[in-house]
Chains A and B, each alone.
Chain A
């Protein structure tokens, strides 16, 4: 990499390494420090508990004025996450503030796993399932977790 990383990004990486958020591991690629491999533990008391979810995170050139781009790589059954792993979260779009960081973004995603919001769906089928029969939807989510997100898979 020839690009000189903005101080902000270097600092953020430093902080992420020294003081990682609980249940979240974010490691930048060696040859591209704007690209992160993320592993997020499914929050307890959620159907994602016990799962380890892989995500990719990219800091675009406009960061921190522009939000980072984040996507789930592990299949997940969630009303605000679609088949391609794209996430419907306001802070990744119009509610982004340059005062937010990689850490806060990842924590928000983790919170989204604990509290799905079927009223603002990205995947309509999943959201409908969640609204019609929450218990059954949660069971499906748990089944997907053990099928796709078990550690070591």
Chain B
């Protein structure tokens, strides 16, 4: 087997690796690498698999042919999560409600409304409902069934709704047909009644030809005002689950069936949509995928309180990898708080001010910022006319012909100014060290993405130039995926390292980082090499080999960081608070 690179691994023979036990230990070489056979594409998926591939329907950037995966425990750095579509979520809500409905023997619609008013927190619901079922029902806006069920919609009311449908064009009001309503909404319509002398407190009209409706709180309004109120809440305020009775300070919720029977079907479908949105936004275990135009929802049960020791990275069905904790793009292994600090540091002006403090001095008298623009050390502040020495910051009077003091080291006044400046100079150099590498990986990843687009063409070329089948040239795409992913990880290792305190652990981290970086660069080089029909099979071996290795190096970095958090061995040079 031709070996072109110098790392120890690849000097191993193919055969040797093939026969290796999966849990082999005690090797001189990296155990993590040996856990899988890099030459078997399926196994390779197992190593590379971030739990993401299970989620992919083959539509994303990262595609995988059938994920088998190894029978291994979930790596520490991965969290469990699920992707839902909107319709699946509706289904999920139904299932939740069905459970509750079964346990307590209450109608589905009531279970839904009560769960919704508890923000779908089942534990809280169970607790509150066993304690005081009436109160929970009332707060959810549920009319006790007996009252509503005993009633029958009067012919007059039925006629009223039917008439309004006919006259819809002129009056611009269209109520849904009785037959279109859900049973719960029909029950609610039974409660609509004509009250002869009622005065609606919203329109102040005592028009007896308009029927009225009241929630169990008995605040009664004409249905025209009710409808106007609801459409205002739905369209102008974007409210759904929290629409209350129109009465001032009345906490009773206007439930879904009531909305259904009082507003047009267009308004009602918008209402349903808002309900779903509020379900996701009020639920701490749900998050919309932040990718533009993506409508999937991720469910993950890593609590916010765990964010100081985990980076819950998820990959949406659309292919977008992001942090469930903060919504930013995948920033493993860097903690959310550190990622935020880093991005802020990189974007805001604090670095400009660091430059200022490094390259300028302040006038010792009036603190005006001064940049030296000539060779002479005799500075005269433009602002306060103070004369001082650029080197020692002492007054220039001590630099006269008669008395020159600048060469004396232990000038107390200047010593402090000096050390402060040296400190900030060193801090800037340190920051630039990490920032350059961070930015470089970002740039490289962008270029790699361009290359990714060209990979398609390259794969075609490869097929034409060799006897390889389509499946067999997929390795190029996998390699490009891995490469980009590793660059993203590398990028964030620099932000992470910037905040790590100097100690042995940090050095180990940097060793892992170095190995990943080195391997990533080698893979990158392979992928850019020209295609030559004679060497295609060699190239394929090399790329497959390197891809698996790089992926395993990435895994080592991530796993070690995660373990470090579990063992509490990372020390930071900043506090982990905002």
Contact = CB atoms under 8 A, between A and B. Distances in A.
A65 interface: yes
B247 interface: yes
B403 interface: no
Interface of B: 201-205, 219, 221, 225, 228-229, 232, 236, 246-250
A97 B249 contact: yes
Interface stretch (A5-13, A111-119, A120-128): A5-13
Interface residues of A, number: 16
Interface in A60-111: 62, 64-66, 91, 95, 97-100, 104
Contacts of A99: 201-202, 219, 221, 246-248
B203 A7 contact: yes
Contact of B202 (A66, A98, A104): A98
Contacts of B202: 8, 64, 98-99
12 contacts: A6-B203, A8-B203, A12-B204, A62-B236, A65-B228, A66-B232, A97-B246, A97-B249, A97-B250, A99-B202, A99-B219, A104-B248
A65 B204 contact: no
A21 to B, nearest CB: 16
B11 to A, nearest CB: 70
Nearest to A7: B205
B248 A97 contact: yes
Interface of A: 6-8, 11-12, 62, 64-66, 91, 95, 97-100, 104
A65 B246 CA distance: 9
Contacts of A7: 203-205
B246 A98 contact: yes
Given A11-B204, A97-B246, A99-B247, 10 more contacts: A7-B203, A62-B236, A65-B236, A91-B248, A97-B249, A98-B246, A99-B202, A99-B219, A99-B246, A100-B248
Contact of B232 (A11, A12, A62, A91): A62
Nearest to A15: B204
A62 B202 CA distance: 13
A65 B229 contact: yes
Contacts of B246: 97-99
Nearest to A9: B204
Secondary structure dominating the interface of B: loop
Identify the interface centre among A7, A8, A65, A95: most chain B CB within 10 Å of its CB: A65
A114 B346 CA distance: 51
Nearest to B250: A97
Max chain B Cβ within 10 angstroms of own Cβ: one of A62, A91, A95, A99: A99
Contacts of B250: 97
Contacts of A98: 202, 225, 229, 246
Nearest to A12: B204
B247 A97 contact: yes
Contacts of B205: 7-8
Interface of A, secondary structure class, is: loop
Contacts of B232: 62, 65-66
Contacts of A12: 204
Nearest to B232: A65
A97 B228 CA distance: 13
A99 B215 CA distance: 15
A64 B518 CA distance: 68
Which of A11, A64, A100 has the most CB atoms of chain B within a 10 A radius of its CB? Answer: A64
A6 B201 CA distance: 14
Contacts of B203: 6-8
A13 B205 CA distance: 14
A45 B322 CA distance: 60
A12 B244 CA distance: 24
Nearest to A104: B248
A11 B249 CA distance: 23
Which 9 pairs show the lowest CB-CB distances between chains A and B?
A97-B248, A65-B232, A11-B204, A98-B202, A8-B204, A99-B201, A99-B247, A8-B203, A98-B246
A55 B250 CA distance: 29
A78 to B, nearest CB: 23
A11 B205 CA distance: 9
Contacts of A97: 246-250
B35 to A, nearest CB: 57
Contacts of A104: 248
B212 to A, nearest CB: 14
Contacts of A91: 248
B172 to A, nearest CB: 15
A65 B229 CA distance: 6
Contacts of B247: 97, 99
Contacts of A8: 202-205
B174 to A, nearest CB: 19
Contacts of B228: 65
Contacts of A95: 248-249
A110 to B, nearest CB: 17
A100 B250 CA distance: 12
A11 B250 CA distance: 24
Nearest to A97: B248
Nearest to B205: A7
A17 to B, nearest CB: 15
A46 B232 CA distance: 38
A94 to B, nearest CB: 9
A91 B221 CA distance: 20
A67 to B, nearest CB: 11
A34 B502 CA distance: 69
Nearest to B230: A65
Most chain A CB within 10 A, of B219, B225, B250, is at B225
Contacts of B204: 7-8, 11-12
A84 to B, nearest CB: 25
B494 to A, nearest CB: 42
Contacts of A65: 228-229, 232, 236
A12 B219 CA distance: 20
B118 to A, nearest CB: 22
A65 B250 CA distance: 16
A65 B233 CA distance: 9
Nearest to A96: B248
A8 B204 CA distance: 5
Nearest to B202: A98
A66 B236 CA distance: 10
